Amino acid sequence: MNSSITHTNSCTLHTHSNPRSGLMAIIAIHSTKLGPALGGCRCISYPDTDAATEDVTRLAKGMSYKAALAGIHHGGGKSVLIRPKTFKNRHTYFEEFGEFVESLGGDYITSVDSGTNIEDMDDISHSTSYVCGTSNDGCTPSIFTSLGVLEGIKAAVRKKMRRQSMDGIHVVIQGVGNVGAALAISLEELGAKISISDINDATLNACLERMKSPDEVMVIPPDDVYRSSCDVFAPCGLGGIINPSNLQHLECKIVAGSANNQLSQESDGVLLHKKGILYAPDYVINAGGLIDVSLIPNGISEQEVTIKTKQIGDTLEEIFDRAEQENKPCHTVANQMAENILYH
Ligand code: NAD
């Protein structure tokens, strides 16, 4: 067993490895200025430790910015577990990770992320109370993420299209898993015209089955999604999809969806701005799940969580207005607002 603490430019990194269990864990804490660092636990394959360290560091910083603009009393942190080829025992693996989280004394609180699930959170909870998103804490993060995205899309439509209603607004949703499907259903209720796309046919069909009028929903092949002319492009699949090769094809007025790290690089946000496409910064619009997992376990009612999540629309309105007044890309304005809270 081996544990260590190191400091990088932006984060404190706590590492723990145990060849017997196969656990190789890195917890990155970016900031605890606003409260204990909260962020999910990702358990995926990485080519090497450097790649895992880079990922966890970037994600932890993103969580600080997200919590700051969501008005949550939490700092930014994240953990990555370098996924073993096979788990010797998945339960004890996550219980051991729980012990590692516990050893930080509450500076970091973990939750679900890519490659982990509610059962894993239950196993972690056997060793620490610094975990949320377990089967009995009442959190439903995807529902609140989708609500926040809906409010964000409405704010963007008001700003860019001067329209108060979603009636007839054409939204293309890329990825109709937990968040995208819930978003499609809410938008349908508001009279929006919906197109959906997913690389997984079963997920696509499951979404269609939940829609009131599936015949009116257009299904777009994954490769054609960027060329689809629409009002709103809502990326709800994976990150990095706003990149130089896709950007030239985009024919939308607004980009607003739940996916994390939508911009492959900062300059993509500048290009969106130059093209006149209004971009709702990802970590602002997708904060509903964080709001849910940070408040519900502390006894805050769903009604209050709903109110706080809807405020994502107000925050985005402020970002859109400032971006217009200062002629700056929206992601730049959002970063400046978060940094004002975190560093001043
Ligand atoms: P999910 O895995 O349930 O759904 C994602 C869907 O996207 C899947 O059905 C997948 O097949 C599809 N997909 C992936 N790549 C695609 C592509 N190139 N084209 C079309 N479809 C594609 O995930 P989710 O929980 O709905 O989250 C969606 C996104 O939002 C993720 O990027 C996630 O990190 C982010 N996010 C989710 C939450 C949450 O509360 N669930 C919170 C914040 C951010």
Which of 61, 78, 160, 193 does the annotation list as catalytic?
Answer: 78
Q: Rounded CA gap, 300 and 344, in Å? A: 29
The conformation of residue 27, written as its DSSP 8-state character, comes to E
Alpha-carbon gap, residue 305 to 284, rounded angstroms: 16
Helices (H), the chain: 49-70, 90-103, 118-124, 141-161, 178-189, 201-210, 244-247, 266-274, 282-285, 288-295, 302-326, 330-343
- CA 322 to ligand 1 center in whole angstroms: 29
| DSSP character string of 155-171 | HHHHHHH--S--TT-EE
- Is residue 205 lining ligand 1, measured as CB closer than 6 Å? no
Ligand 1 centroid – CA 3 distance (Å): 33
Backbone angle region of 135, left / alpha / beta, with phi > 0 → left and psi within -120 to 50 → alpha = alpha
**Ligand 1 in reach of 219 Cβ (< 6 A):** no
Q: What is the dihedral of CA 163, 164, 169, 175, to 10 degrees?
A: 120
Q: Using a 6 Å cutoff on CB, does residue 290 contact ligand 1?
A: no
- List the domains of the chain with CATH numbers: 2-63+75-125 (3.40.50.10860), 141-343 (3.40.50.720)
Pocket test for ligand 1, best of 58, 69, 179 (most atoms within 8 A of CB): 179
Dihedral class, residue 161 (left if φ above 0, else alpha if ψ from -120 to 50, else beta): alpha
Distant-in-sequence, close-in-space partners of 129: CB < 8 Å, separation ≥ 6: none
198 Cβ inside 6 Å of ligand 1: yes
Report the C-alpha gap between 80 and 273 in whole angstroms: 33
Q: How far is the CA of 259 from the centre of ligand 1 (A)?
A: 6
Ligand 1 pocket member 143 (CB < 6 A):
no
- For the chain, the residue count is 344
- 237 Cα to the center of ligand 1, angstroms: 4
The whole-angstrom separation of Cα 250 and Cα 169 is: 17
Name the residue with the closest Cα to ligand 1, atom 2: 177
Q: Which residue numbers in the chain have pLDDT < 70?
A: none
Asked if residue 10 lies in contact with residue 82, where contact means CB atoms within 8 angstroms, the answer is: no
Percent of the chain that is helix, strand, coil (3-state, to 5): 45, 20, 35
Closest CA to 147 of 206, 70, 239, 51: 70
Q: Is 133 in the pocket of ligand 1 (CB under 6 A)?
A: no
Reply yes or no on whether 78 is catalytic: yes
